[in-house]
Amino acid sequence: MMINMKILLIALPLTLGKRYTEFGGIQYPNNLGYIASYLIKHNYEVEMWDYNIEHFTEEDFAERVKSSKPDIVGIHCKTPTILIGEKFAKIIKEVNPNIKVIIGGPHCTALPERTLKEFPDFDICVMGEGEVTFLELCNKIKNKEPIEGTLGISYRTEKGVITEPRRPLIKNLDELPFPNRDLIDMKKYKVLAHVERGIPRSVWTAAEIMVSRGCPYQCIYCAGNLNYGLTVRFRSAKSVIDEVKECIEKYNINYVNINDDTITLKKDLLYEICDSFKKLKIKWGCLSRVDVVTKEMLQKMVDCGCMRINFGVESGSQRILDLTKKRTKIEQIKRAYQYAKEVKLKIIDSGFLIGQSPDETLEDVKATLKLMKELKPTFASVTITVPFPGTELNKMLKEQGYLGKENWENFVMFGKKPEWRTKYFSSTDLVKLQKWVLRKYYLRVSYIIPKLLEIRSLNEIKYYLNVGIDFIKNVVIKRTSPA
């Protein structure tokens, strides 16, 4: 006889009970969406809650778990949400200690044993790609079989924590069902400011899509490749387009947000996807490195509806780009921006980092600001580089004695005081520099006036007003003492 088991999947917010600032993004949790689809395909009953879009109290949560009656709860935890994960797990165990709490995501992938030792209410950590491992775990738990030998997990035994070898990666990503988007009402994401900067949810109904998994680069601060390694696996254009068509039909989306580290790595695939986007008349945006784009490529993208690109520039100092193994040149950065402007890409968003190398000096930060002003991106995010577990930066700061307490909730890119320092900057300096660079970039007539002139609708006015207010609250007023 088939025993039905219920699986509950939970996405966590960065701060309990607090609203996000308007300049951070929230997206449908595709990671859990993928796991949900895979489980449903194998006949499990799945429920999914995203606490980024729902307000709740601890009592509400306990009540909800009581009435949902899951057998297994899977929680996605990043480093700064791991403490909230433990809080949730504790409540779950208080409701019913027999519910298995399984966590996944980049934090426990980097530190499986330590996570289980630090947080007593997690039963099992899943490392890396989760679909197959989680299904195998559910099957074993359902059949009351031992979980020993399950690849890609870490778990407690009487003899201590055991970590099994990592599971080989899924060879053909097209075999995975599309992430489930029915378990949470997609409309609920409309309450949030934007999909990404410049794409207000009041104007755009978006779906996030992943075309590939993995990144061949090894920037010292990035935790991205812990999951999928350095080999990039791509889906076929057909699979991607079928998913987009499904999103248009079912959710009436008019924007696709491609979340890959660098979709521009594979030109043929990109062009095939571009052609289909054009036929579907869908607008879209993506991330890219500066060294892989050509003018012809950007032109093609714009012709096929691309209205936003996010370049990870990181620094205006070649010395720092080299030290952090970014493998880009300042000249390539300038060229990519020149091309993007020539082809009239509507939104050029850009990431810049502070404290990305222990050796960064004030001169390097000034070079970053100088480059920002020269490139004039539509938006510039300036974040404090977080030494996430498993990254080379984490190792370097630790070895050099610059990493203080590891209070994980403070491992965020903005809004908290870092628990680390670099050779030349204290943690307070890092925050001051971040805000200084942001103010110097945004609070200029030459930035503000053209931006105001671009606004075309009431919804856009509302959006930019909210973003502006948040900027003033967080960057201008709270100059030196972050929340």
Of 75 and 433, CB closest to ligand B12: 75
446-455 burial string, b = 16+ CB within 10 Å, else e?
A: ebeeeeeeee
CB-based burial label for 147 (10 Å; 0-12, 13-18, 19+): middle
Q: Which of residues 75-94 bind ligand B12 (CB under 6 A)?
A: 75-76, 78-81
Detail the DSSP E strand segments found in 53-145: 72-76, 100-104, 124-126
Q: Is 379 in the site for ligand B12 (CB under 6 A)?
A: no
Helices (H), 128-196: 131-142
377 alpha-carbon distance from chain centroid: 21
Q: Which of 99, 138, 293, 413 binds ligand B12 (CB under 6 A)?
A: 413
Give whichever of 8 and 375 is closer to ligand B12, judged by the CB atom. 8
- Does 321 sit near ligand B12 (CB under 6 A)? no
**Per-position x/- string for 209-228, each x denoting binding to ligand B12 as judged by CB under 6 A, each - no binding:** -x-----------xxx--x-
Window 31-50: residues binding ligand B12 (CB under 6 A)? 31, 34-35
In DSSP terms, which residues pair with 209 in a beta bridge? 258
Q: Does 5 participate in binding ligand B12 (rule CB under 6 A)?
A: no
For residues 158 and 265, give the distance between their C-alpha atoms in angstroms, rounded to a whole number. 47
Site string for ligand B12, 48-67 (x = CB under 6 A): ----x---------------
Given candidates 6, 15, 16, 30, which one binds ligand B12 under the rule CB under 6 A?
30
Choices 61-69, 74-82, 308-316, 329-337; region in contact with ligand B12 by CB under 6 A: 74-82
Give the DSSP H/E element, type plus range, for residue 59: helix 58-68
How far, in Å, CA of 354 to CA of 475, rounded?
A: 15
Stretch that binds ligand B12, among 73-81, 229-237, 335-343, 363-371 (CB under 6 A): 73-81
Q: Binding pattern to ligand B12, positions 159-198, x when CB under 6 A?
A: ----------------------------------------
Nearest residue to 211 via CA among 176, 250, 259, 252: 259
The least distance separating ligand B12 from the CB of residue 338, rounded to whole angstroms, comes to 26
Q: Residues touching ligand B12: how many (CB under 6 A)?
A: 41
Helix axes 267-280, 237-251, angle to 10 degrees: 30
**Side chain identity at 76, as an amino acid letter?**
H
- E-strand stretches of 265-330: 283-288, 306-314
377 is a contact residue toward ligand B12 (CB under 6 A): no
The nearer residue to ligand B12, 30 or 361, going by C-beta atoms, is: 30
Q: Which residue is nearest to ligand B12 (CB)?
A: 104
The first and second tokens of residue 421, run together, are 């320092």
Angle between helices 330-342 and 362-375 (to 10 degrees): 20
Q: Which residues bind ligand B12 (CB under 6 A)?
A: 12-14, 24-27, 29-31, 34-35, 52, 74-76, 78-81, 102-107, 126, 129-131, 134, 210, 222-224, 227, 259, 261, 388, 412-413
